[in-house]
Amino acid sequence: MKTINHGQHHREVQLGSGSVHVFANDEVFASFGERVYEMAEHNLRIPRNVYFSYTPDAHVGIGTCIGTTAVWNMHDGFVSPSIVGSDIGCGMRVHMTPLHRDDLQDKNLKRKLIEAIEAYVPTSERGQTDFTDISIEEVVKHGLNGLPAAYLAKPTGEPGEVSRSLTHVEKHTFAFDHAALAHIPAKSWQRAWGQLGTLGGGNHFIEIQAIEIAEENREIATEWGLFDGQVVIMIHSGSRAWGATLGRDYTKSFKEAMFKWGIENPEPNLVYAPIETAEGQRYLNLMYSALNYAVTNRHLIGYSVERAFQDVLGKDFSTPVLYDLMHNYALQEYHRNTPMLIHRKGATKALPAGHFQNPKAYKKTGHPALIPGSMGTSSYIMVGADSGAKNFYSICHGAGRVRSRKATKEIVTIDQFERALRVGEDDEIMVNHRSLAAILDECPQAYKDVDQIIDSVVGAKLASVVAKCKPLIAIKGV
């Protein structure tokens, strides 16, 4: 295994089947285990790969590492459900508030907010919302455009203005051939309706955070409506069972197709097919339906959290969305004047100022790239750099796990978890669970040091920090 050091935290590791570009500082790079490169070797056996890379939060996943960017040309390339991941459309969303962190010092007030949010957003896997006036068919077909107008932020009245709910998102609707929905079983439709607007378990969360503006990007922060000490709401969730079922079903169907075609790979959970095959096209179409579900799910969580704030702080309280984006998907994008299918599995798009793929609202500055930390540590709001083109404008999607859930429960004690959350201190990070044992596998000790991850991204000149977000309240699902 030969490594070429390109400088600026960028190394190219040459393997038997091709090269994996790794963006990580020395400390993070040294922490990557052999299995990470073994998975890259197996992924690079997929024919005609254009580019393959790891962000610094890369760690072992099912079939493919989380933290992967993998690229094929549209005309002769491949699509892989394994490189998309099982939680299709999983991503981040941030809402702004007019509050300053000093306004949320009272623990009783924070407890009221936690209880109000849980009244609107189910946090158990069996919990269901009751959006009776929303058509799940319209949602999976049209994304945010499929919602009744009452759920979208009202325009301020400027001529030709569109709701901020539609303009300040990575994409508000993903077009696809709706005939593909005929392959969805009836039970999936019913389950999807009940889960719309729910958080889910694992690493998904709602956090109330206070931000610190990075001096070098203060002008951008002001342009976005951010200020020092501002309280923001960060949401992490995805397409729930709708996407998970698709991922599971199409992993099975792709395996069957690969067996029929005589294709083998040493990685048993890695599946793929040419884009233009019936299998490839059906998966892509249904994957887009899951992206529509995911962006709408996060939107409705944000809508519900705003209602909770209004219950506690007054009916006129407003939480405009800053941005919504995904980090598990495969999308056609234009790079090097060529249409390419960009797979990002646990990787976040971070476009610079002036890039044509930016939404209109962020054409001038580049869009916010939302990077969560681990529970109890800081998260970040970043903006892409021009030199991010070398990694197809992909950066990290979070801190990245350093140990499994099982290992975390065996190694980390409740006392250690409590100290990480500063339980009993004036600046305690308050959580919605009375017993931390229920969420011990999500403690900060289960993850890499997010500051090292951000240092790697900044040092690689893929993006820069606009704001650091320190948690005040953490709401987790189980």
Q: Are strands 18-23 and 51-59 parallel, antiparallel or unpaired?
A: parallel
The answer on whether 374 is annotated among ligand-binding residues is yes
**How many CB atoms are located within 10 Å of the residue 268 CB?**
11
The answer on whether 192 is annotated among ligand-binding residues is no
The answer on whether 285 is annotated among ligand-binding residues is no
| Whole-number Å distance between alpha carbons of 98 and 226 | 9
Catalytic site positions: 397
The answer on whether 433 is annotated among ligand-binding residues is no
| Whole-number Å distance between alpha carbons of 380 and 225 | 16
The answer on whether 398 is annotated among ligand-binding residues is yes
| Whole-number Å distance between alpha carbons of 365 and 351 | 9
* Per-residue DSSP letter, 230: E
The answer on whether 88 is annotated among ligand-binding residues is no
The answer on whether 397 is annotated among ligand-binding residues is yes
The answer on whether 367 is annotated among ligand-binding residues is no
The answer on whether 148 is annotated among ligand-binding residues is no
Question: Element (H or E) spanning 315, and its range?
Answer: none
Sign of the CA dihedral 7, 13, 19, 24? negative
The answer on whether 253 is annotated among ligand-binding residues is no
- Give CA 412 to chain center in angstroms: 26
Cβ-contact 347, 457 below 8 angstroms: no
Question: Element (H or E) spanning 338, and its range?
Answer: strand 338-345
The answer on whether 10 is annotated among ligand-binding residues is no
The answer on whether 343 is annotated among ligand-binding residues is no
* Per-residue DSSP letter, 261: H
Comparing C-alpha atoms, which of 127, 128, 149 is closest to residue 138?
149
| Whole-number Å distance between alpha carbons of 391 and 216 | 23
The answer on whether 117 is annotated among ligand-binding residues is no
Instruction: Say whether 6 sits in a helix, a strand or coil.
Output: strand
The answer on whether 399 is annotated among ligand-binding residues is yes
Binding-site residue set for GMP: 203-207, 327-328, 372-375, 379, 397-400, 476
Residues annotated within the binding site for Mn(2+) are 87, 204, 236, 327
Annotated binding site: 87, 203-207, 236, 327-328, 372-375, 379, 397-400, 476
